[in-house]
Structure formats: structure tokens, C-alpha cells
Amino acid sequence: MARKSSTSGIGAPVWQGNWQVRSFHGFHQAREGGVGQWTFYVSSFSAPARDGSGQCNVLQFGGGLEQVAIDSQDRITILGRKYGRSRWTH
């Protein structure tokens, strides 16, 4: 699915409690304690198709959700790039 918002770029990290968060082209990314990989937050999933692919909802920075593709190998597609399970949380 194509991006709905025109938000571009990577925002400066800010702290929310023990979490460092930022905008990644309009998507919410976080990392605990300000270390490690930045991860996207997936809130929900559609029923999978026969091939195991489907859709999921990813949190946008500042609130809201955006539906993106997820494949049979649990990779979400953000801005045309696939991110494996280590790069998102549910």
C-alpha cells in the first residue's frame, strides 16, 4: 500500500519515560533505554491469505495507524523496504 501522508525524513529522537522515540517518515519507532535497533510497532493483523501474506496496522508518529503489507516470512513493508521480525514489535 502506498504511503498516505507526505511526512518525510527521520525526526530527532525524544524521550518518553525509558523509551527513546522518533518519527521515521511518519511512522513511530522506539528503542528501550536509547540503545539497540529502532523498532516499529504493529498493533494488529488481518487474516492471512493462502500464501501467508496479509496486512497489518503500524503505529504512526503522533497517533493513528497505517495499513502495510506483511509477507509469509513476517516481514513488514515500509516505504518499499521489507523489515524482518527483529525490526518490529507487537
Q: Per-residue pLDDT tens for 16-45?
A: 999 999 999 999 999 999 999 999 999 999
Q: State the chain's mean pLDDT as an integer.
A: 92
Note the pTM of the prediction, 2 decimals: 0.88
Give the side-chain half-sphere CA count within 13 A for 45: 15
C-alpha 86/C-alpha 74 separation (Å) is 10
Q: Residue 1 — pLDDT band, cuts 50, 70, 90? A: very low
Please choose, from the candidates 23, 55, 24, the residue with its C-alpha nearest in 3D space to the C-alpha of residue 42: 55
The answer to whether residue 7 scores a pLDDT higher than 70 is no
Percent of the chain with pLDDT over 90: 91
